[in-house]
Amino acid sequence: MDEAKIVLIVDDDGGLRRLLADILRGSGHNFEILEAETGGSAIEELKRRECDCVLLDYMLPDIDGLHIISMIRDLERDAAIIMLTGVGDETLAVKAMKAGAFDYLPKASITRSDRFFLLIHTILNAIQYKKTGTDRKKIEKVLRKNEERYRGIVDNSPVMIIRFFPVDFSVSFVNQGYCAYFNTTPFDALGENAIELVFGDDRSLFTGVTEGLTLEKPLTSFERFIKSDDDPRYIVWSVQALFDDHGTIWEYQCVGSDITDLKLAEKRRRTREEHERLAETLHAVGIGVITTDTQGRILLINSVAEDLTGWTHEDAVGKYCGDVLAVSDETETGGLMDIQYTWVEKGFEGRGTNLELVLTPKTGRKKNISLIIKPINSRYEGFSGLVLGFMDITEKRILERLFEYQNEFLQSIIDSQENIIIVIDRDRVRMANNRFLDFFGLEPGVGGEAELMSIGGAIVDAEGCLAKPAPGGWTHALVDPGRQSSLIAFKPARLRKPRVFSITVNKLSIDEELYVATLTDVTDLDEKRRVYQHRASHDALTGTFNRTRFDEALAHHVEIARRYDACLSLVFMDIDHFKEINDEFGHQAGDTILKEISRVVRRATRRSDIFARWGGEEFTLLLPHTDANEATLTAEKIRARIETARLRIPRPVTCSFGVAGFMEKDTVETLIRRADEALYLAKNRGRNRVESR
């Protein structure tokens, strides 16, 4: 059973109250009736309980109806108020409605039995209207609360949040976490280019991150390294594509977290592992080795160094290096700490790091030693200390031969490779294999400015390859992590055609400025790729674009025309009586006609026009930035040239043309349909003519 609807009847006429109550009870609806004789008693009744509807007499002995409406609103009651008026009270009732009453009814009209339905209908409408308004207010209140709660969570979140539009990449929202991290304000960030803010102005990075986002997989992430106030920072960004109801991306949302502490912790762990591996290696070498931290305190001393200095590993670790490796020479006295300090702060100012010194061991006689000092440059933390290698002077030549052997061993390894391998920095070639020398016709010892210029001059621009840099800057272009391609094309003077190489560059951990570049000849693969690309987009018989490539171009240009209000026209053309040509002269002759007509059309059109074989003897011509009138003139010019062309069959060949210019509401399908209808019209009107729609 429906829940009872509570109706309060307020009138000083007891007979009218009873009549109205009887009407409501006899209506068949579930009404609960309350009565009040005065305005004061009505207000007291409303204070005690909620009512769905109030039938209110305008003229009461104690309070007028307008005042009662105001008092009901002060009680924050949602009852629907229907004003009951006498004859001539309509003007006052209208005032009451402006004050908040739902409707008014003249008493004379509702007390007639044939008008009872009007009273019932008005009450039910009033209750339903108020219920709908109340529900809407509750929903709006909940939504406001949820929005305020969401906004509070977003703004107070420790993570960075930034949203931007995909069309122009302008920032639409940033939270307080983003502003605090980058020391900015929403006012300064809104409208800025998000590619610059989030992706470091690297459009290729943005494309690589977002190109795989779909409705099924709308989320991805990437890490970015930045420098702020000379301190390294690492941010992991989660990038989410937000789609509209049509499946189109309408906004991107990026949520970033600073992972610098995690990265630095990982770096420290790896550095520690490097030191442990270094310790295992150094204990196996045949020279004395000591490693220190950045302050000169000993971290490791190997067994040979123990023998030379007289210190054990347990006693030496933690001591200052100058206390353990006490050295002097003819021009400088004191411990190694002085030399180490000079090395770190001034780089020995030209004295180098290969020294011949006198060692005073803990026990025993002094020894002449050869000392080599190198920085420990961790790939994770940069400079982290020194490594000191030393031996008796008699072992000096052995050490030199060891270094020479290492270089020769490395050279023999890279010479055995079929690929071009070079060791480079950003300015020159340090080492190259024979394959490199043979390819460029160079002699051993390459690396001078003239050789570098000649190699840079051999780089050529090729599709999909690294753009040609300045002749002397090609090594810098190779090691640049932001290069636009992993392919490079060289054409030395002795070659007729350029060769294409794939580029692989790895950094040498022993020197932050040295790189190993491997160039693999992929010319044959690249040529095959180009052939396959051409086959995929061109008609094999005529050499024109095929249907697939034309469909892509048409969709692209229709979108441009719609977005920028640009002119665009589509022309359909069909060879007249082509079946008769095939039947009379054979299909081979028909193929020849198709190729010759294709050549005629290409000569009569612009390079920007897109000409394709639609199928059989039918062709399409897409004319960007061309309205329908200009397209009709172009089609007429082509028609005339075909009609007068000397083709390889003893009969005239003509074509019919249908032209359609792009309209504001056109889609790809409607544009094609209008061009096809125009072609059909040209056929019906006698062929060898141009029609437009």
DSSP 376-409: EEETTTEEEEEEEEEEEGGGHHHHHHHHHHHHHH
Tokens of 13: 């006429």
How many domains would you assign to the chain? 5
pLDDT digits (tens, 9 = 90+) for 613-653: 988 899 999 999 999 999 999 999 999 999 988 888 888 89
Residue 406 within any structural domain of the chain: no
Confidence category of residue 352, pLDDT binned at 50, 70, 90: very low
Tokens of 198: 């989030």
Q: Any idea what the CATH number is for the domain that residue 660 is in?
A: 3.30.70.270
- Answer yes or no: do 583 and 676 share one domain: yes
Confidence category of residue 476, pLDDT binned at 50, 70, 90: confident
- Answer yes or no: do 580 and 559 share one domain: yes
| pLDDT score at 57 | 85
Residue 382 within any structural domain of the chain: yes
Tokens of 142: 């909940």
Question: 394, 427, 462 — which closes off a domain?
Answer: 394
pLDDT, greater one: 95 or 397? 95
Q: Do residues 484 and 465 touch, judged by C-beta distance below 8 A? A: no
- Answer yes or no: do 250 and 292 share one domain: no
Q: What's the whole-number mean pLDDT along residues 398-412?
A: 68
Cα angle: 159, vertex 164, 167; to 5 degrees: 160
Report residue 291: phi and psi, to 5°.
-115, 145
Cα angle: 517, vertex 520, 523; to 5 degrees: 140
Q: Do residues 539 and 545 touch, judged by C-beta distance below 8 A? A: yes
Give CA–CA dist 518/532, Å, rounded: 27
Q: Which of 415, 417, 471, 418 is nearest to 444 (CA)?
A: 415
Confidence category of residue 418, pLDDT binned at 50, 70, 90: confident
| pLDDT value at 351 more than 50 | no
- Answer yes or no: do 302 and 205 share one domain: no
- The mean pLDDT value of the chain amounts to 80
Token pair 């190993």 is at which residue?
Answer: 516
pTM for the full model? 0.34
Q: What's the whole-number mean pLDDT along residues 499-520?
A: 77
Residue 411 within any structural domain of the chain: no
Question: 202, 235, 258 — which closes off a domain?
Answer: 258
Lowest mean per-residue pLDDT among 242-251, 515-524, 550-559, 677-686: 515-524
pLDDT digits (tens, 9 = 90+) for 63-75: 888 888 888 888 8
Q: Do residues 222 and 212 touch, judged by C-beta distance below 8 A? A: no
| pLDDT value at 84 more than 50 | yes
Spell 535-549 as b/e; 16+ CB within 10 A means b: eeebbeebebbbeeb
pLDDT digits (tens, 9 = 90+) for 239-250: 998 988 888 888
| pLDDT value at 278 more than 70 | no
CA torsion, ordered 519, 525, 530, 531, to nearest 10 deg:
160
Please, is 458 exposed, middle or buried when counting C-beta atoms within 10 Å of its C-beta (0-12, 13-18, 19+)? buried
The alpha carbon of residue 118 and the mean position of all alpha carbons in its chain are separated, in whole angstroms, by 63
| pLDDT score at 571 | 94
Helix (H) or strand (E) holding 489: strand 487-490
Q: Do residues 75 and 46 touch, judged by C-beta distance below 8 A? A: yes
Residue 624's beta-bridge partner residues? 568
CB atoms within 10 A of CB 152: 10
| pLDDT value at 136 more than 60 | yes
- Answer yes or no: do 119 and 179 share one domain: no
Confidence category of residue 350, pLDDT binned at 50, 70, 90: very low
Report residue 357: phi and psi, to 5°.
-135, 170
Q: Count the alpha carbons within 13 Å of 140 in the hemisphere toward its beta carbon.
A: 6
Residue 651 within any structural domain of the chain: yes
| pLDDT value at 337 more than 50 | no
pLDDT digits (tens, 9 = 90+) for 599-608: 999 998 999 8
Beta strands in 555-666 (DSSP E): 568-575, 610-615, 618-624, 655-661
- Answer yes or no: do 544 and 686 share one domain: yes
- Answer yes or no: do 179 and 223 share one domain: yes
- Answer yes or no: do 377 and 494 share one domain: no
Residue 380's beta-bridge partner residues? none
Q: What's the whole-number mean pLDDT along residues 100-122?
A: 78
Residue 692's beta-bridge partner residues? 659
Q: What's the whole-number mean pLDDT along residues 424-453?
A: 73
Could you give the percent of the chain with pLDDT greater than 90? 15
Give CA–CA dist 477/410, Å, rounded: 25
| pLDDT score at 662 | 94
Give CA–CA dist 355/330, Å, rounded: 12
- Answer yes or no: do 516 and 550 share one domain: no
pLDDT digits (tens, 9 = 90+) for 46-59: 888 888 898 888 78
Q: What's the whole-number mean pLDDT along residues 78-92?
A: 74
Residue 214 within any structural domain of the chain: yes
Give CA–CA dist 476/466, Å, rounded: 12
Instruction: Determine the 3-state secondary structure of 2 from DSSP.
Output: coil
Residue 238's beta-bridge partner residues? 221, 255
Residue 151 within any structural domain of the chain: no
* Domain around 249: 157-258
Give the chain's radius of gyration (CA, Å): 45
Q: Which of 639, 614, 637 is nearest to 626 (CA)?
A: 637
Task: Calculate helix-pair angle for 65-74, 90-99, nearest 10 degrees.
Answer: 10
CB atoms within 10 A of CB 318: 10
Lowest mean per-residue pLDDT among 188-197, 260-269, 670-679: 260-269
- Answer yes or no: do 292 and 219 share one domain: no
Q: What's the whole-number mean pLDDT along residues 522-529?
A: 68
Lowest mean per-residue pLDDT among 34-43, 252-261, 520-529: 520-529
- Answer yes or no: do 566 and 684 share one domain: yes
Q: Any idea what the CATH number is for the domain that residue 211 is in?
A: 3.30.450.20
CB atoms within 10 A of CB 470: 10
Q: What's the whole-number mean pLDDT along residues 574-586?
A: 90
Confidence category of residue 333, pLDDT binned at 50, 70, 90: very low
| pLDDT value at 279 more than 70 | no
- Answer yes or no: do 467 and 351 share one domain: no
Q: Do residues 649 and 588 touch, judged by C-beta distance below 8 A? A: no
Which residue type does 206 have? F
Residue 410 within any structural domain of the chain: no
Residue 543 within any structural domain of the chain: yes
Token pair 């172009």 is at which residue?
Answer: 634
Q: What's the whole-number mean pLDDT along residues 318-334?
A: 71
Q: Can you list the pairs that 232-238 forms with residues at least 24 positions away whose Cβ atoms lie under 8 Å? A: 232/260, 233/258, 233/260, 234/258, 234/259, 234/260, 234/262, 234/263, 235/160, 235/259, 237/198
Query: What 3 state SS string does 112-164 have?
Result: CHHHHHHHHHHHHHHHHHHHHHHHHHHHHHHHHHHHHHHHHHHHHCCCEEEEE
Sheet with 568-575, strands from edge to edge, namely 610-615, 618-624, 568-575, 655-661, 690-692
pLDDT, greater one: 379 or 467? 467
pLDDT, greater one: 209 or 677? 677
Question: 102, 136, 170 — which closes off a domain?
Answer: 136
